């Protein structure tokens, strides 16, 4: 699934911001007032971070180290560019409900990856402990939306509270959907397995090999220091020999 010439965060079209999305629909998104005027810049900042840090880390199989209950759990979504047909990658928060993977388009329907999966719903997903292929579809059923949005919001509650002012753990269903329900919700139904970072063709071996090499170097250095600090046998016997000669 990785290492096949994909272009993380690449743009579909020349007039697209660096984050890989189209212009942000500021009027429809429920962000706090201080962020509304700067959503395009915020979008671009997320794009730079995703392209140069989050996506490479996930491709190396480090997703489990990026995921936690405070900042959320991160997956790598891969979609086909609707114009080029090339794989595009984007790191996203996610939750698994009833055997399906759910995520939201945080910058609305103009987001490029969302537009790409609408054109071609066949996607691949790298989760922290595996990878799947599946079909993506926007959720339109209110009951299903609430069923998935609650745990999804709770899994990224710090980010949700910071950007929207709503703590998903402490609001009613109506209050939750009045805010988070304005983001497009996507369901990905698994259809099979896909090669992950640690499978043949993946990049996970790079991180594993680097970690093993560093551990080996550290152990070797520690052993050398230990040997150098220990007194040699001849040095230990020298005082006794001098006393015997006297």
71 by Cβ neighbours in 10 Å (0-12 / 13-18 / 19+) ranks as middle
User: What is the structure's pLDDT at 137?
Assistant: 97
Tokens 């609650």 belong to residue = 150
User: What is the structure's pLDDT at 13?
Assistant: 35
- In 94-223 the beta strands, taken as DSSP E runs, fall at 95-97, 100-104, 122-127, 130-138, 185-193
User: What is the structure's pLDDT at 158?
Assistant: 83
How many C-beta neighbours within 10 Å does residue 9 have? Answer: 23
In contact, 25 and 39? CB cutoff 8 Å: no
User: What is the structure's pLDDT at 9?
Assistant: 47
User: What is the structure's pLDDT at 196?
Assistant: 65
Bridge partner list, 187: 102, 137
User: What is the structure's pLDDT at 204?
Assistant: 59
Cα gap 15→181, rounded to integer Å: 28
User: What is the structure's pLDDT at 143?
Assistant: 96
In contact, 187 and 100? CB cutoff 8 Å: yes
User: What is the structure's pLDDT at 17?
Assistant: 34
Cα gap 170→168, rounded to integer Å: 6
Q: What is the pLDDT along the chain (246 residues), one digit of tens a residue?
A: 444 445 544 444 333 333 344 455 555 788 888 777 777 888 788 888 888 888 898 888 888 888 887 778 899 999 999 999 999 999 999 999 999 999 999 989 989 999 999 999 999 999 988 899 999 999 999 999 999 999 999 988 888 888 898 899 999 999 999 999 999 999 999 998 876 676 666 675 676 677 667 777 877 787 787 777 776 555 555 555 555 555
Helix (DSSP H) and strand (DSSP E) numbers for the chain:
10, 7
Q: Is 32 left (phi over 0), alpha (psi -120 to 50) or beta?
A: beta
CA dihedral of residues 113, 115, 120, 125 (deg, nearest 10)? 20
Sheet of 122-127: strand order equals 87-93, 74-80, 122-127, 130-138, 185-193, 100-104, 95-97
């Amino acid at each position: 699934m990785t290492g096949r010439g994909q272009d993380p965060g690449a743009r579909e079209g020349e007039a697209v911001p660096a984050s890989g999305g189209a212009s942000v629909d500021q009027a429809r998104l429920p962000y706090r007032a201080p962020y509304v005027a700067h959503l395009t810049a915020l979008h671009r900042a997320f794009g730079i971070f995703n392209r140069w840090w989050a996506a490479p880390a996930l491709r190396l199989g480090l997703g489990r180290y990026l995921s936690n209950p405070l900042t959320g759990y991160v997956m790598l979504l891969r979609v086909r560019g609707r114009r080029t047909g090339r794989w595009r990658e984007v790191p996203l928060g996610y939750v698994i409900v009833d055997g399906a993977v759910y995520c939201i388009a945080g910058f609305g329907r103009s987001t490029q990856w969302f537009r790409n999966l609408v054109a071609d719903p066949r996607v691949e997903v790298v989760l922290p402990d595996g990878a799947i292929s599946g079909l993506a579809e926007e959720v339109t059923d209110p009951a299903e939306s609430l069923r998935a949005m609650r745990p999804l919001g709770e899994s990224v509650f710090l980010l949700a509270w910071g950007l929207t002012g709503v703590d998903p753990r402490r609001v009613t269903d109506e209050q939750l959907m009045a805010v988070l329900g304005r983001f497009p919700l996507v369901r990905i139904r698994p259809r099979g397995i896909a090669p992950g970072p640690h499978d043949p063709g993946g990049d996970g071996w790079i991180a594993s090999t680097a970690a093993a090499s560093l551990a080996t170097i550290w152990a070797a250095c520690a052993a050398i220091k230990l040997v150098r600090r220990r007194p040699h046998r001849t040095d230990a016997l020298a005082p006794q020999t001098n006393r015997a000669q006297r």
